[in-house]
Structure 1
C-alpha cells in the first residue's frame, strides 16, 4: 500500500463521518444533556467495577490506539490542517504506552494510639472535558484512560475544527469498554460541539469537575466556573 492508497482510505473514513444522524458513532449524542445523562448511567456501573476490570478497559484503549495510530494521525492532519502525520503517529503511540492507568490509584493506611486510618481514592463521577484542535484525538484518549482509571466517565466538548477525529477517539474508548465486557458511553460527546454545548456542560449539576486543554481563554473560563477545574494551556500537552 502506497501513500496515495493511504490518503484515499483516510478520505473515505472522513467522508463516512460527516456530521449527520446516519451511522452514529458510539457515545455521540445530539444534545449535551443527553450525552451527560448517558455518561452518568455508565458511571453507576463503572464505580462498581473492580480495579482489575478498569485496567482491562485501559489496556484495550492502549491496543486500539496503537492499531489506529496512523489513521488517527492522518485524520487529524486532514481535518485540522495542523501538524504532520509522522509526529502525530508517535504521539498516539507515546500516550498508549506511557499514560498512567490504575497503578496510580493507591490506598494508604496507618495506625496509632487513636486507632486505624484508611484513605482510599474515589471517583468524581462524570467529568466534563474540553479538548483542542492541536492534539484532538491524543487528548481524548489520554484523558479517558486517566479518568477511567479513577472510576469516572467523561463527556467531551471537542474543538469544532477537530470534531470528526475526536468522535472517532470517543468511539474507540467505548469499543474498548464493550470488548472488555463493560458499559457503553463511558466517554460521550455531542454531534455538533458549540460554545452553547460547552456552557451547558460547565453549568450542569452532574459535572463536578472540568478538565480543559487549550488556550488561555478556555482555561481561564474553566478555572473561573465555580467548579473544580484542571487546565492545561501553553504547550498543549496530551
Structure 2
C-alpha cells in the first residue's frame, strides 16, 4: 500500500523530497506502507494548481459542478469495499462499522452535495439589491485521522459544490484512504487542479497550508489546541477559517426515560470507533432515582464489546490509532479516582496492538479530569443529578459544546435539549442527519459543516445594487 506520488494539477507527480512517512496497522503494530512526507514546496505547487483551476471551476454552472460530483459519487461507491478495508487496516475500525460508517457516511454526504448542486439556485433580492453567493476561492482542507474519508468528503464535496478548489492534507496517521478519493476524482473527470493532495505532517504541510498567502480559506478538523494554531496562522493574513474541534458531550437521562434503551444506545455512542469520535457522549448524566440501575446496565453493556482484530466479524472494539493515543488514554484511566465498574487498566487485552479495554467509571466528579478532558478513547463517565436544572448545569459545565443527547418524555426532553449549549442534540435516539448543520459552540469550533449550511461556509456573499425606478 506504499505510494510515492502526490496528486497535483490532475496528475500523479513526484514530491519535492524523497522522505516518506510510515503508515502503521494499529491492530498488529506492523507497517502497512509509506506515503510521501510532503513539504512547503509541495504545498506551493498544490496552491498554484488550485489557483490556476479556480476561475474555470468557479465559472462552471452549479449544476455542472453537481454533475461532476455525481460522477465522483459513482466512482467512489465502486470503491466502497476498498474504502472499508483500507480504514480497517490504517485505523483499526471493526469491519462492520467501517462498511456502514467509514465508507457509507461519506457516500451519503457526497450524494447530498451532488443533489444540492444540481438543484436550481434561487435568486435573492432585497430592495434594489441582488444577492449573489460566490465561491471563497482556494481552500486548504486539513483533516483528522478518526473518520479519514468522511471528514475529507464533508469539506471537499461542499467546497467543490460551492465552486472552490481544494488543497487537501489528510492526517499522516490515516492517509491511505485519501488516495482512493483522488483516484476516484481522476476517474470521474474532476478538472485538473480542482482537487490536490499533499500528504505530510501537520508541522510541515499543515502549517504551510494554514499560513499560505494563496489559500483563501482554511477548513480544519482536529484537536482544539491545533485548531487554535491554525486560526492564528490564518488570522495573520485575515483568511477565513472553519474549525471543527473537540467535544465532551453529555447524555442526559431523565427520570421518565426508557432507561434500558438510553443506557444501551449511550454506551454504544461512547464506544463508537473505539471512543475516537468528537461527538461521543462520554458523560452519562442519570437522575439519582435511577442511577444505580443505570450503572449496572452500563457495566453490563460494556462487557458486550469484544476487543480484537477489526477483521473478525465478532469484534466490536478495535484498537486506538497509535501507541501515543493508547498511552494517552491509559493515562486518564490510571489517574482516575472515580469508581471503576467495567474495564480498566487490568482488563485482559490482545498481546499486540494499541488496545484499551471498554471502561466505565461511576460517581465521577463533574469538575474532575475524567469529566472535563476529551479522552478520545473507550472511556465513559457516569454522573448523578437530582433535577433538570442540575442536569443542564452539569452538561453545560464544559469548555466544549459539540453534541449531546436527552432521554425522557418528548416535551420535557426537548425543553432540556434547548437549554444545552451545544451544536447538536439527539432527543430519544434521534438519528444523525447528514444534511443538517454540524458544528460546535464554545471551544468546539467555528462554523458549520454538512448540507446547505456547510455549503455556505465556502461562499462569499455579494450585494449588487440597481438603480430603482424613479431614482435619479
TM-score normalized by the length of structure 1? 0.79
Taking structure 1 as reference, are residues 106 and 139 closer, same or farther at Cα in structure 2, changes over 3 Å only? farther
Count of residue pairs the alignment pairs up: 214
Q: Conserved in 2, the CA contact under 8 Å of 1:61 and 1:172?
A: yes
Taking structure 1 as reference, are residues 65 and 133 closer, same or farther at Cα in structure 2, changes over 3 Å only? same
- Counterpart mapping for 1:1-238 below 5 A: 15=1, 18-21=2-5, 26=10, 30=15, 31-82=42-93, 84=95, 85-87=98-100, 88-99=102-113, 101-102=116-117, 103=119, 106-111=122-127, 116-176=128-188, 178=189, 183-225=191-233, 226=235, 227-234=239-246, 235=278
* Deviation at residue 216 of structure 1 after TM alignment: 1.5
Q: Conserved in 2, the CA contact under 8 Å of 1:82 and 1:134?
A: no
State the structure with bigger RCO (CA 8 A, min sep 6), 1 or 2.
Answer: 1
SS of residue in 2 equivalent to 1:162: coil
What CA distance in whole angstroms lies between the structure 2 residues aligned with 1:156 and 1:172?
15
Taking structure 1 as reference, are residues 187 and 83 closer, same or farther at Cα in structure 2, changes over 3 Å only? farther
Q: Conserved in 2, the CA contact under 8 Å of 1:105 and 1:149?
A: no
SS of residue in 1 equivalent to 2:173: helix
Taking structure 1 as reference, are residues 62 and 142 closer, same or farther at Cα in structure 2, changes over 3 Å only? farther
Quick check: which one's helix share is greater?
Answer: 1
Q: In the TM superposition, what whole-angstrom CA distance separates every residue of 1:18-48 from its partner, at most 9, and x where no partner exists?
A: 1324999955552111111111111121012
SS of residue in 1 equivalent to 2:191: coil
SS of residue in 1 equivalent to 2:213: coil
Structure 1: 5+ residue stretches without partners: 1-14
* Deviation at residue 155 of structure 1 after TM alignment: 0.6
Q: Which has the larger radius of gyration?
A: 2
Q: Conserved in 1, the CA contact under 8 Å of 2:140 and 2:218?
A: yes
The alignment yields a C-alpha RMSD, in angstroms, of 2.7
TM-score normalized by the length of structure 2? 0.42
Structure 2: 5+ residue stretches without partners: 16-41, 247-277, 280-437, 439-449, 451-472
Taking structure 1 as reference, are residues 107 and 219 closer, same or farther at Cα in structure 2, changes over 3 Å only? farther
* Structure 1 match to 2:457: none
